[in-house]
């Protein structure tokens, strides 16, 4: 099956899958497009299972996006979305307001301090350092299964320690 036919036949199904797994439709279409570009660059020959390659590429791109979006990011200021534009008639830019970034940093630092060293080290290498499970296993001389267990336990502990923060920020619009 050629790429164009595979795209027209399986594209809507892939978009449906991506939407069903929590991706908005516009992003799902973008991921499908990126998957088509990847498959077009890497397809070896006529015997390739193009629909399977498209699905796998789209699924992996979605997983990458979810992982990247989950990375911690702090800002010192937030923009007020209701503010008026510039007085001089320039581009409309809302004024900057102080955020709760300092409070969140202190809470996160305290929560990390409560984690056992092995869990903290593993979580930071994975979440902040962007290391894979295999790389962390090599760096820490631990098995991949143990690294996965440590990541899971660190996430559970941080979720428990920071549960009240989630409630405090529930009123903040996206």
The total number of structural domains that make up the chain: 2
* Average pLDDT rounded to a whole number, residues 52-72: 82
pLDDT in tens, 84-117: 444 455 555 444 344 566 677 778 888 888 999 8
110 belongs to a structural domain: yes
Provide the percentage of residues in the chain whose pLDDT is more than 70: 72
| Higher-pLDDT residue of 168, 108 | 108
C-alpha closest to that of 76 among 47, 94, 103, 49: 103
- Tell me which residue range forms the domain holding 66: 3-70
64 and 108, same domain (yes or no): no
Terminal Cα-to-Cα distance of the chain (whole angstroms): 42
33 belongs to a structural domain: yes
93 belongs to a structural domain: no
* Average pLDDT rounded to a whole number, residues 7-31: 86
145 belongs to a structural domain: yes
Confidence of residue 137 (pLDDT cuts 50, 70, 90): very high
Average pLDDT score, the chain: 78
Helices (H), the chain: 3-20, 25-42, 50-70, 101-114, 117-123, 133-140, 144-161, 163-168
pLDDT in tens, 33-56: 999 888 888 766 666 788 888 888
31 belongs to a structural domain: yes
Q: Final residue of a domain: which of 32, 48, 70?
A: 70
80 belongs to a structural domain: no
């Amino acid at each position: 099956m050629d790429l164009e036919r595979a795209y027209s036949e399986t594209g809507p199904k892939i978009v449906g899958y991506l939407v069903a797994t929590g991706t908005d439709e516009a992003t799902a279409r973008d991921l499908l497009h990126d998957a088509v570009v990847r498959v077009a660059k890497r397809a070896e020959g006529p015997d390739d299972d193009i629909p399977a390659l498209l699905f796998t590429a789209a699924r992996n791109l979605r997983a990458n996006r979810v992982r990247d979006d989950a990375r911690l990011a702090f800002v010192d200021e937030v923009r007020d979305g209701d503010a008026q534009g510039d007085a001089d008639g320039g581009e409309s830019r809302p004024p900057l307001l102080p955020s709760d970034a300092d409070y969140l940093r202190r809470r996160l630092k305290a929560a990390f301090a409560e984690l056992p060293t092995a869990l903290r080290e593993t979580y930071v290498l994975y979440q902040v350092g962007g290391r894979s499970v295999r790389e962390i296993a090599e760096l820490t001389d631990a098995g991949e299964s143990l690294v996965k267990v440590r990541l899971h336990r660190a996430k559970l502990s941080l979720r428990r320690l920071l549960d009240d923060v989630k409630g405090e920020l529930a009123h903040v619009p996206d």
